[in-house]
Amino acid sequence: MKITVAGDRKEVTDGLTVAELIKQENVETPEYVTVSVNEEFIESGSFAEHVLKDGDEVEFLYFMGGGMR
């Protein structure tokens, strides 16, 4: 099946979960990543159960703190 990951079209195996995709994509600091699938946020506790479907669009987002003094 084909999905889009961070704007890149990829061929992946059927039944791939968000957790498996995170490992496959070598996501840095996976414990801090937020994932959206088709512009909907996926709860981190359900990464292992959320199965991706053909045509899904996946984004990995990192929120950074900080600001001006």
Q: CATH number of the domain at 7, please.
A: 3.10.20.30
Determine, yes or no, domain membership for 66: no
DSSP string, the chain: -EEEETTEEEE--TT-BHHHHHHHTT-SSGGG-EEEETTEEE-GGGTTT-B--TT-EEEEE--------
Confidence of residue 17 (pLDDT cuts 50, 70, 90): very high
Please report the pLDDT score of residue 69 as a whole number: 66
Please say if the pLDDT value at position 27 is more than 70. Answer: yes
Confidence of residue 67 (pLDDT cuts 50, 70, 90): low
Q: Looking at the 3D structure of the chain, how many domains does it have? A: 1
The residue segments making up the domain with residue 20 are 2-61
Burial class for 21, CB neighbours closer than 10 Å (0-12, 13-18, 19+): buried
Determine, yes or no, domain membership for 53: yes
